[in-house]
Amino acid sequence: MREETSSFTSFDGCRLFSRAWECQSRPRCRLLIVHGFGEHSGRYAELVSRLSDLSISVYAFDLRGHGRSEGERVFVDRFETYIEDVIYFRRRVETRSTEPNTKYVLLGQSIGASIAAATALRDQKIWDTLILLSPFFGLAFGHRSMKGLASILNLFAPRKIWNNPIRPFYLTHDPESIARYRSDPFIQRRITMHCAVELLRLSDVMSRRAEEVLLPILVLAAGDDKIVSLKKTKAFFERVRSQQKKLEIFDDFYHELLHETNRSKPIGILKQYLTDLGL
- Mean local confidence (pLDDT), 141-147: 81
Number of domains in the chain: 1
For residue 96, pLDDT beyond 90:
no
The pLDDT assigned to 141 comes to 87
| Parent domain of 172 | 3-276
Closest among 78, 69, 79, 92 to 119, alpha carbons compared: 79
**Residues contacting 92, CB < 8 A, separation 6+:** 8, 18
pLDDT tens column, 28-85: 899 999 999 999 999 999 999 999 999 999 999 999 999 999 999 999 999 999 999 9
User: Cβ(66)–Cβ(35) under 8 Å?
Assistant: yes
Predicted confidence at residue 78, as pLDDT, reads: 96
By C-alpha distance, which of 159, 25, 16, 6 is closest to 88?
A: 16
Which own/partner pairs from 141-147 qualify as long-range (CB within 8 Å, at least 24 positions apart)? 141/226, 143/200, 143/229, 146/196, 146/200, 147/197, 147/200, 147/204
Question: Within 13 Å and on the Cβ side, how many CA atoms surround 4?
Answer: 12
- Considering only the C-alpha atoms of the chain, give the largest distance between any 2 of them, rounded to a whole number of Å: 54
CATH number at residue 111: 3.40.50.1820
Task: Give the pTM.
Answer: 0.96
Contact 46, 134 (CB under 8 A): no
Position 154 scores a pLDDT of 84
Q: What average pLDDT is seen over the chain?
A: 95
pLDDT at 279: 63
Mean per-residue pLDDT, 108-129: 98
